[in-house]
Each structure stands twice: as structure tokens, then as C-alpha cells.
Amino acid sequence: MGMGAAIALPAGVIQPVVDMSGLLGFTLIDLITIAIPLAAVFLVVGLVCKYLLNKPDIWFYVTLLAPLLILQVYLLIPTSSQLEATVSVLPRFLLLAACLYFMVRSHKPFSAE
């Protein structure tokens, strides 16, 4: 099962965006079909690990994301159009960075000052 099979997106929904800009359409498709399910899985695995382990720190979550990030950067290297590939994958990285921030931020103790 491929990572791109996470969510089916009808062509009629995305066609107006693709007509306006192909790169924007491809980036939006990547965000909806891959980035959102990937972030959801990361949050679920992170929350399960957070409750199984007493106090995971930022390095635990970075280690959890490291294989995926290394694979994504490795797949970007041989592309012919580096800018288009980077722009299309950038929302995926930003969403995962936001999830990482949420996981680390939600684990800090509250101080009433």
C-alpha cells in the first residue's frame, strides 16, 4: 500500500485550482492526500507513546520523525526540477513541524506565575 492512497480526491474538486496553477494544484493534492493523513498518524502515535512513556522529550519525537524526513529529503535529491519538488513537499514538512511543536508544547508543565 502506497502512501498516496490515503485519501481519494475527485478530479472535479481540484480541477479549477489546477487550471489556475499546476504547481498549486499538485501541492494542494499532496497536502490533502499525503500530509494531513501523515500528520494525523504522527499525532496518534505520538499521543500513544506519550501516555505509554512517562515523559518523552523533544528528542523522542524528533527520532520518531527522522526516518520519514530523511526519506523525503533523499527522494528530493534526484528530481529534475528541484524548485517544484521542494515547493510541493514544503507544506508536508510545515504540517509535521507544527505537529512536532504541538507534541512538545503540550508536554511542558503549566506554571502559574
Contacts of 20 by beta carbon, 8 Å cutoff, 6+ apart: none
Helix (H) / strand (E) containing 53: none
The mean predicted confidence, pLDDT, of the chain is: 77
Instruction: Reply yes or no on whether the pLDDT at 40 is more than 60.
Output: yes
| Model confidence, pTM | 0.70
Decide which of 48 and 86 is more confident.
48
Q: Judging by beta carbons within 10 Å of its beta carbon (0-12, 13-18, 19+), is residue 27 exposed, middle or buried? A: buried
Decide which of 80 and 97 is more confident.
97
- Do 38 and 92 contact (CB within 8 A), yes or no? yes
